């Protein structure tokens, strides 16, 4: 499969003009490249995707709500995102879990809502520094995957598509990315857990992305050495030249 490179802009950039400039620059650089490039902008910037852009560029969302509609002030439903031609939805990002008190239960409901609306969930899992120091990484990932996928059938995952993003929380926004060898172990652990939850065939068909201080220097290692099927890029995706180089190095 082509590597999937996701730009998680978070609550950036500061204005629409900057967003358009960034999007336009990267689109010109990645046209016809052998990678699927996914932009996940703030909801208010979705208008920039109304213009034509390369076939290998897709729109994604940073979050959604699991209810179809109703009195949920400030929320956006999965069905509304699907109506905007959204293809991917990030679910359970560590910042959502930390700052907005998302639980495995709400994450599970969101995964189901995304699949029901024929989009691809990107389920984020990962451990804190404290959890890593306690050597409880396997338990953390096992719980996040088991509860995040509770009552969701393999046939549905494989029909719509499904991705797991491993994001070591201790590496996000720091100068300490997870080294390639260690990240490879985490990818294999995630595959092992998925095989236990479903089957080896299902595990083989689910792509695992790496996210956590990704840059143009380490991108190739995560894809070509550690075996990740793609990258979830945060801060570096806001630097047009750097993000374009990450994509180039991942191919």
CATH number for the segment(s) 4-250: 3.20.20.70
Choose, from 93, 95, 102, 127, the residue flagged as catalytic.
93
Choose, from 102, 127, 167, 229, the residue flagged as catalytic.
167
Given a contact cutoff of 8 angstroms between Cβ atoms, the answer to whether 92 and 110 are in contact is: yes
Given a contact cutoff of 8 angstroms between Cβ atoms, the answer to whether 144 and 104 are in contact is: yes
Given a contact cutoff of 8 angstroms between Cβ atoms, the answer to whether 26 and 248 are in contact is: no
Taking only the tens place, the pLDDT of each residue in 153-210 is 999 999 999 999 999 998 887 778 899 999 999 999 999 999 999 999 999 999 999 9
pTM assigned to the model? 0.96
Every domain of the chain and the residues it spans: 4-250
Taking only the tens place, the pLDDT of each residue in 94-145 is 999 999 999 999 999 999 999 999 999 999 999 988 888 887 899 999 999 9
| Cα→Cα distances 77→67, 109, 127, 149, 189, Å | 6, 12, 28, 19, 32
181 is catalytic: no
18 is catalytic: no
């Amino acid at each position: 499969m082509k590597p999937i490179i996701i730009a998680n802009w978070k609550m950036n950039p500061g204005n629409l003009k900057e967003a358009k400039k960034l999007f336009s620059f990267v689109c010109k650089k990645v046209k016809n490249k052998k990678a699927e490039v996914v932009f996940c902008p703030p909801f208010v910037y979705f208008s920039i995707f109304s213009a034509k852009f390369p076939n290998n560029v897709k729109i994604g969302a940073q979050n959604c709500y699991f209810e179809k509609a109703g009195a949920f002030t400030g929320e956006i439903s999965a069905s509304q995102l699907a109506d905007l031609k959204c293809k991917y939805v990030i679910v359970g990002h560590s910042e959502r879990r930390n700052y907005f008190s998302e639980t495995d239960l709400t994450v599970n409901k969101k995964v189901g809502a995304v699949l029901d609306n024929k989009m691809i969930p990107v389920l984020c899992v990962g451990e804190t520094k404290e959890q890593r120091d306690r050597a409880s990484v396997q338990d953390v990932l096992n719980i996040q995957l088991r509860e995040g996928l509770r009552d969701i059938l393999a046939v549905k995952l494989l029909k719509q598509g499904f991705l797991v993003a491993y994001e070591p929380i201790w590496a996000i926004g720091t100068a300490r990315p997870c080294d390639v060898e260690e990240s490879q172990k985490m990818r294999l652990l995630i595959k092992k857990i998925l095989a236990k939850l479903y089957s080896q065939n299902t595990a083989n068909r689910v792509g695992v992305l790496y996210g956590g201080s990704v840059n143009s220097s380490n991108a190739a290692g995560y894809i070509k050495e550690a075996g990740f099927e793609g990258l979830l890029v945060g801060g570096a995706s806001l630097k047009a030249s750097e993000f374009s180089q990450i994509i180039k190095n991942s191919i």
